[in-house]
Amino acid sequence: MLDVRNVSKQYSAPHGVLSILDDISFKLDAGDSASIVGPSGSGKSTLLYILGALDPPSSGTVTLDNQNLYELNEKDASAFRNQQVGFVFQDHSLLPQCSVLENVLAPTLIGHEKSPIEYQTRARELLDKVDLGHRLDHRPSQLSGGEKQRVAIARALVCQPTLLLCDEPTGNLDQRNAESVAELLLSLHRSERTVLVVVTHSTDLANRFSQRLSLVDGRLITAS
Q: Lowest-pLDDT range, 4-18, 137-151, 210-224?
A: 210-224
CA 92 – CA 172 distance, rounded (Å): 10
Q: CB-hemisphere CA count at 13 Å for 180? A: 16
Taking a C-beta distance cutoff of 8 angstroms, is the pair 2, 161 a contact? no
Strands, E assignment, 121-194: 163-167
**Partners of 9 in the beta sheet?**
21
Q: Quick check: 22 pLDDT over 90?
A: yes
SS3 131: coil
Residues in the chain, how many? 224
pLDDT > 90 fraction of the chain, expressed in percent and rounded: 68
pLDDT, tens digit, 9 for 90 and up, residues 139-165: 999 999 999 999 999 999 999 999 999
Confidence of residue 61 (pLDDT cuts 50, 70, 90): very high
Of the candidates 153, 169, 154, the one whose C-alpha atom is nearest the C-alpha of residue 205 is 169
CA 58 – CA 195 distance, rounded (Å): 24
Q: Write down the pLDDT at residue 222.
A: 67
Q: Quick check: 204 pLDDT over 90?
A: no
Of the candidates 179, 132, 186, 178, the one whose C-alpha atom is nearest the C-alpha of residue 155 is 132
CA 220 – CA 82 distance, rounded (Å): 28
Q: Write down the pLDDT at residue 14.
A: 84
Averaged pLDDT, 91-98:
92
Q: Give the count of beta carbons closer than 10 Å to the beta carbon of residue 78.
A: 14
